[in-house]
Amino acid sequence: MPASLLLAAIALPLCVAPALPALTRRFGWRTSWLAALVAGLSAAFTMAAGLGADWSYQWLPSLGPALALSLDGFGLLMSALIGGIGAAILIYAGGYSRHDPHLGRLLAWLVVFVAAMQALVLADDLLLLFAAWEVTSFASFMLVGHSTHLAEARAAARRALLVTAGGGLCLLGGVVLLADAAGTWRLSELAVMTDHSLYPAIAILFIVAAATKSAQFPFHFWLPGAMCAPTPVSAYLHSATMVKAGIVLLVRMQPSLSGSAWWELPLLIAGGLTIVVAAWRCAVAVDLKALLAGTTLIALGCMTVLAGIATPSAMAALVVFLLAHALYKAAAFMLAGAIDHGAGTRDLRVLAGLRRAMPWSAGLAGVIGLSLLGLAPSASFVAKELLLAVAIESGPLVVILFGLAAISFAFAAVRVCWAPFAGRPSSRAEHAHEVDRASLIAIAMVAIPALALGPLLAAAHAVLEPAVAAAGGTITAYQLGLWHGVSAPLVIGLFAITSGLIAGLLLHRRLRAWLRTPRWWDAAAWHDALWVHLVALAKRLTETMAAGGPRAAAALCLAVTALLVLGVIVTDPERLPLPAWNADASPLDLAALALTLLGAGGCIAARSRMAAVCALGAVGTGVTLIFLAHSAPDLAVTQFLVEVLTVLLVMLAFRRLSDGISDSGSKLIRAGVALSIGATVFVLVLVAQGTQLGQPVGAWHAAAAIPEGHGRNVVNVILVDFRAFDTLGEIAVLAIAAIGAGVLLARHRKLEPAT
Amino acid sequence: MLLGLTPDILVVATALVVLVLESVAPKPWRTRAIVLSAGLGCVLAAVAMISLGDGEGSVAGYTLRPWATPLRLTAVLSVLMSLLMIPSQLDHDNRRMRRLVTPGVAVFMLLASLAGTCSLAGANDMVAFIVSLELATIPLFALVALFQDGESSEAGLKFLLTGALATGLLVFGMSYCYGAGGAVDFPGLAAGLDGPLAVTGALLMVLAILFKLSAAPMHVWAPDVYDGAPNAVASYLASGSKATGLIALLLLWEGPFVHLHEQLRPLLITTAIASMVIGNLGALRQTRLRRFMAWSSIAQVGFFLLAVGTGLDGVLAISFYAVVYALSNGLAFLVFDCLGESRPPTMPALRGLSKQSPALALALTLAVFSLAGIPPLAGFLGKFALLLAPAREGMYLLVLIGALNGLVGLYYYLRVVREAYMVEPETRPDDLRLDLPQRLGVLLCAVAILGFGIWPGVHNWIAGLLGLV
């Protein structure tokens, strides 16, 4: 029973989601409470299942992957966050998007997303992990593109999908290689892979996948673009959960893949560059959500760096930071949405003095601000202490990076939680109003735990310890405490907060002027340009091919055939059977040769289609003469009949076309193709001449004709006795061809009587 | 033993019944009677294949091969999908159609081609092989030219000319194989084919089959022909006809060419990569729906070819994906067909579909996402198996190239979804009227596309047929 609860945690939201649009039409925004209940239940199910529960089903026995779920400490923590934050955000969505005609669709995709995320963190099978990963990408695409009337939203949705799905394909590659190398699809059975010959490829593929999903440099650009999504979506997918999927992947793979430069160096570089680039973005941001997106990038960069350091204390810091960040960032985004709703803008340059109009929001902003600043007693304070402690162990570069991160967080705290509410009310603030109660409840549901969890973390050590251990880390209750004396992390943290406060309160206008972003620096533009160029290339190629028409098509096919056949023959000339040279030629042979050459020459020189076809007929006649000269009169008759028919049919088909032959295209290429085909056939004939058949089937048929077939005409016996079924088939084919041709021609006649 | 031939006999009998109905059924319900009886025949044949598909042995020179059952089933499925589209081509006020050929002949041709595909799977020598292959191909020339406007006739002529070239190559190659192997039956050839002469013959034959599959570089006919052909025929060309080509290729590969793998493998790998790249590039810019499907089907063939020559794993992957592909591709064409012919078959015709008919828009989304290989749809499982097969042989680079091409595929399949959901139409489109069979077809396909990706029954059934479980 406990094990199947894991399945229920995924199946319940998946089953409820399709019904939500219909329910929303009936019950309006109140449906969001049901959706929230489902998300909450899904987390409750995993908690009820208990640590160590696992469930599996032999899915594809012939390929190996199974549907396998298992619950470890880290999975439980993530599952609780997904369900808990999900519930809060679904409630918020009901308030925020109350007047959205497509609220039902929004709720449905959010709930699908809950299911996919649960599957991702509970998966014990590589393929299931990948499938869940891709579903989160698609749910994100649907949610970012939710406001379909905005061209910007459509472009951002596509960009986000192409980047994350591209990363997903890297993950698929990595998963296939890893399963092949490790000999198992079970995550829990993976051994340490660092010595395997495929290890570098596997490591890089997994890192690229994680970097695309968690928006790490150079794939960081899709995340700020995805901020066009409705705020509940930004709050849930693009801060609290989906972007954490990359980190989850890194944590899951850490036992088997970490421990070499192939793993650590790319993670340190990507994470470090992301922190720097995102700090820049934060400093120049004028949009509330863009600023928060920047801090999300920084947080993810810090987690990536921690995964790269990969010591037990780094992994412990990662888990605690992940928990704190998920809570306060979701709250911060919901607050941003509330400000947007209340004041009608997200522009940081005009927001001021909202505290009178939005008192509850202002209060919650204070709570969130403490977390964002990283001040005691918030959970993020504990996380920051752990982070800086790891940085001090790891060297000055990491200290600088994490210091920069802390400064940026403090800067964002001032800009988001203080500036919009403080100061003289702007014209905007006069018309501002408080947001609805559901939204406030939802914000409080995550903001208050984010703050209150700080002092409780040490007490909750027993709960947190399995999560940290599952991620490969170790942590003590003491480390989770708030006060460790005046230590280096505390000093660095206070310094960073002070700098951030100064920058946020006094320098923000100047920062924007100083750090003007150069145009080439826009990675999103690079990404778009890549696709634009690819599409342009495709256009050029298809147009070139289309301009050539059927002639180019035929030339391509023939050239490839010639190339391949000549290739085979040239590469292995010794084993080719070549005939002995025979210089005797009868006058008839010579005549046939002359006629053939003449026909070919005429065909080339012809200025009209009909003339060319007639000249080709002459070539065929030459072949007929050769058959005659070598005592094969039956073949000669057949050949002649076929030749006449072909010429007539081609003439019939061409009679509607203009008679002239256009001279477009390169003659050189055409000559080259023709000559190569000629050479190919020549060589082939030569080779055929030299081949000695082991045992011609004809001999057996001739001998068996009378005793077994009771017939003197061997050809007849073969047709109606030895190969009677084939003849029947052939007759059927001919009959069908005749019916088809008859129908088409009959119709044609009916069409034409007027002319 | 003759029981094993039941599906084939059913197909041929249905074809004959259709031909008789064409002349005796009263005019008011002729089309309906023909399509219904053809559909019934196909369903019976499919049931017979499923229940008898694991039989092995030989009947009257006809070899029963369990591995070919899923591919034959693919062709039957594809015919069923086309049958759903034929009435709409006849009944609706059709822009392109002044007077179509009588429906009986069209359906008869389709069934004749199916009969060719079925008997191809039983061929055990070169003569039966080529006769079956021609039986499967020749009716299609007439079918492509079903409409009597310039586009359709032009497409028919192009198809005929390239088809003739392919047949020429096939027979030419066959003669070299006979010369090198000294036999016409497959076991004899398998024992005898070796050396450069045999490779030359095999090469020519494989090139001819690449025509049938519309794989690069022999793909050049596909875009024009699909575009000019009626929906029902283009849909069959895209999946049913490809099943024929796959049967032919696998038949030769495991039979006569069994000692030539080393020499032929590079050709197939090159073709696979070239097809994926060229097909994807071609599809990126297309706005005409059938042309778009043609280019994307060229890319899809590349995926199929990745798994040829990777043993039973590969055959399993190909067979499963063929079934899934027939469903997804057929569903996409069915939705295009439901749009009617009042608007030109281009991408903008899809605009507003999500408002006109949310169910159709959803079905189309499922179809193209399945073609793009998105989990948890069946197309994902199929593509995954196709990539896994070469990976198990150690060809990892091929897997990466395949995955990269999957991304480009996603880009243009998304365009279809974007047009259906996100772009507003300039004029308000008319309401769509769907008849019961169309509704049923769309529903069944959509459910199957979703179901086969999650429920592994079909995959495991095929694995059982191949003796892999």
- At A1-32, the pLDDT tens digits run 678 888 899 999 989 988 888 888 888 888 88
Asked if B127 and A138 come within 8 Å (Cβ–Cβ), the reply is no
A178, A744, A745: best to mutate for the B interface, most B CBs within 10 A: A744
Grade residue A577 by pLDDT with cuts at 50, 70 and 90.
low
pLDDT (average), residues A85-113: 87
Residues of A in contact with B374 (CB under 8 A): 134, 138
pLDDT (average), residues A473-496: 80
Please tell me which residue of chain A has the smallest CA distance to B266. A564
Query: What's the pLDDT score for residue A1?
Result: 62
Note the pLDDT tens digit of each residue in A410-450.
Answer: 888 888 888 888 877 777 777 778 888 888 888 888 888 88
Give the number of A-B residue pairs with CB atoms closer than 8 Å: 211
Report whether pLDDT(B91) > 60: no
Report whether pLDDT(A271) > 70: yes
Grade residue B445 by pLDDT with cuts at 50, 70 and 90.
very high
Query: What's the pLDDT score for residue A664?
Result: 63
Examine residue A574 and state whether it is found in any structural domain, yes or no.
no
**CA angle B426–B432–B438, rounded 5-degree value:** 140
Asked if A557 and B218 come within 8 Å (Cβ–Cβ), the reply is yes
> In this predicted structure, which of A156-170, A384-398, A504-518, A718-732 has the lowest mean pLDDT?
A504-518
Examine residue A83 and state whether it is found in any structural domain, yes or no.
no
DSSP label of A630:
T
- The verdict on A393 and A495 lying in the same domain is yes
Measure the CA–CA gap between B30 and B19, rounded to whole angstroms: 11
- The verdict on A346 and A480 lying in the same domain is yes
- The verdict on A530 and A499 lying in the same domain is no
Examine residue A434 and state whether it is found in any structural domain, yes or no.
yes
**B231 vs A546, more confident:** B231
Query: What's the pLDDT score for residue B98?
Result: 47
Examine residue A493 and state whether it is found in any structural domain, yes or no.
yes
Report whether pLDDT(A194) > 90: no
Name the domain boundary from A547, A563, A590. Answer: A547
- CA distance to partner chain A, nearest, from residue B467 (Å): 10
Give Cα separations from B312 to B247, B250, B302 (angstroms).
14, 11, 18
Report whether pLDDT(A576) > 70: no
Asked if A747 and B148 come within 8 Å (Cβ–Cβ), the reply is yes
Query: What's the pLDDT score for residue A750?
Result: 47
- The verdict on A531 and A500 lying in the same domain is no
Note the pLDDT tens digit of each residue in B103-138.
Answer: 788 899 999 999 999 999 999 989 889 999 999 999
CB proximity list for B282: less than 8 A, separation 6 or greater? A538, A541, A542, B223, B295, B298
Query: What's the pLDDT score for residue A694?
Result: 61
Per the structure, how many domains does chain A have? 2
> In this predicted structure, which of A218-227, A306-315, A318-327, B74-83 has the lowest mean pLDDT?
A218-227
Examine residue A387 and state whether it is found in any structural domain, yes or no.
yes
Asked if B391 and A63 come within 8 Å (Cβ–Cβ), the reply is no
Tell the residue number behind the tokens 């010369």, with chain if given. Answer: B179
How many Å is the maximal CA-CA distance in chain A?
A: 115
- The verdict on A505 and A522 lying in the same domain is no
Examine residue A451 and state whether it is found in any structural domain, yes or no.
yes
Report whether pLDDT(A376) > 80: no
**B172 vs A375, more confident:** B172
B437 preceded by a cis bond (ω within 30 of 0)? no
Report whether pLDDT(B5) > 70: yes
pLDDT (average), residues B425-434: 74
Which of B176, B221, B374 faces A553 most closely, judged by CB atoms? B221
Domain that holds residue A438: 285-515
Query: What's the pLDDT score for residue A659?
Result: 64
Name the domain boundary from A507, A528, A547. Answer: A547
Q: Tokens at residue B45, please?
A: 């044949």
Please tell me which residue of chain A has the smallest CA distance to B102. A743
Note the pLDDT tens digit of each residue in B173-228.
Answer: 998 888 888 888 898 888 888 877 888 889 999 999 999 999 988 888 899 899 88
- The verdict on A407 and A521 lying in the same domain is no
Q: Which residues pair with A347 in a beta bridge?
A: A287
Asked if B192 and A560 come within 8 Å (Cβ–Cβ), the reply is no
- The verdict on A401 and A543 lying in the same domain is no
Residues of B in contact with A744 (CB under 8 A): 101, 142, 145, 156
Examine residue A414 and state whether it is found in any structural domain, yes or no.
yes
Measure the CA–CA gap between B218 and B223, rounded to whole angstroms: 12
Examine residue A649 and state whether it is found in any structural domain, yes or no.
no
Give Cα separations from A633 to A617, A623, A624, B208 (angstroms).
19, 12, 9, 30
- The verdict on A409 and A481 lying in the same domain is yes
**CA angle A18–A23–A27, rounded 5-degree value:** 160
Residues of A in contact with B99 (CB under 8 A): 747
CB proximity list for B358: less than 8 A, separation 6 or greater? none
Grade residue A122 by pLDDT with cuts at 50, 70 and 90.
very high
Measure the CA–CA gap between A663 and A593, rounded to whole angstroms: 29
DSSP label of A54:
E
Query: What's the pLDDT score for residue B298?
Result: 94
> In this predicted structure, which of A70-74, A375-379, B408-412 has the lowest mean pLDDT?
A375-379
- The verdict on A320 and A345 lying in the same domain is yes
Measure the CA–CA gap between B146 and A747, rounded to whole angstroms: 10
- CA distance to partner chain A, nearest, from residue B365 (Å): 12
Query: What's the pLDDT score for residue B92?
Result: 46
Note the pLDDT tens digit of each residue in A291-304.
Answer: 888 899 999 999 99
B204, B221, B284: best to mutate for the A interface, most A CBs within 10 A: B284
- The verdict on A445 and A543 lying in the same domain is no
- The verdict on A388 and A534 lying in the same domain is no
Name the domain boundary from A495, A515, A535. Answer: A515
CB proximity list for A118: less than 8 A, separation 6 or greater? A9, A10, A13, A42, A46, A79, A82, A83
pLDDT (average), residues A226-240: 83
pLDDT (average), residues A255-273: 89
- The verdict on A499 and A539 lying in the same domain is no
Query: What's the pLDDT score for residue B152?
Result: 78
B159, B362, B400, B416: best to mutate for the A interface, most A CBs within 10 A: B400
Grade residue B296 by pLDDT with cuts at 50, 70 and 90.
very high
Distant-in-sequence contacts of B27-36, Cβ < 8 A, 24+ apart: B30/B103, B30/B104, B31/B86, B31/B87, B31/B90, B31/B91, B31/B103, B32/B87, B34/B103, B34/B104, B34/B107, B35/B83, B35/B86, B35/B87, B35/B103, B35/B107
**Mean of the per-residue pLDDT values of chain B:** 87
Note the pLDDT tens digit of each residue in A579-594.
Answer: 776 667 788 888 888 9
DSSP label of A415:
I
Report whether pLDDT(B94) > 60: no
Query: What's the pLDDT score for residue A683?
Result: 83
Q: What percent of chain B has pLDDT over 90?
A: 43
